[in-house]
Amino acid sequence: MDSFTWVKSSRSGGSGDNCVEVALNVPGLVAVRDSKEPDGHRLTFAANDWHQFTSRLKSEPFDPA
């Protein structure tokens, strides 16, 4: 994961470190991490799965139940 280029979410505020960061520069994968813990746990997803997940978030109301 050293080759990942991390960027903060466009939805994250400009202040503080409470941000989600993603790396999109690895073909076929999307990696996600917490900016407060850059050396902590990271999640990786198949790029297509990530696209489906984010598309659904944008198109449907969130229901935590």
44 forms bridges with which residues in the sheet?
Answer: 31
State the pLDDT confidence band at 62, using cuts at 50, 70 and 90. confident
Residue type, 59: S
Six-digit token string for 29: 């994968």
What is the rounded radius of gyration, in angstroms, for the C-alpha atoms of the chain? 13
* Model confidence, pTM: 0.73
Residue 51 has pLDDT above 70, yes or no: yes
What digits encode the pLDDT tens for the residues 15-46?
Answer: 666 788 999 898 999 999 988 888 999 999 99
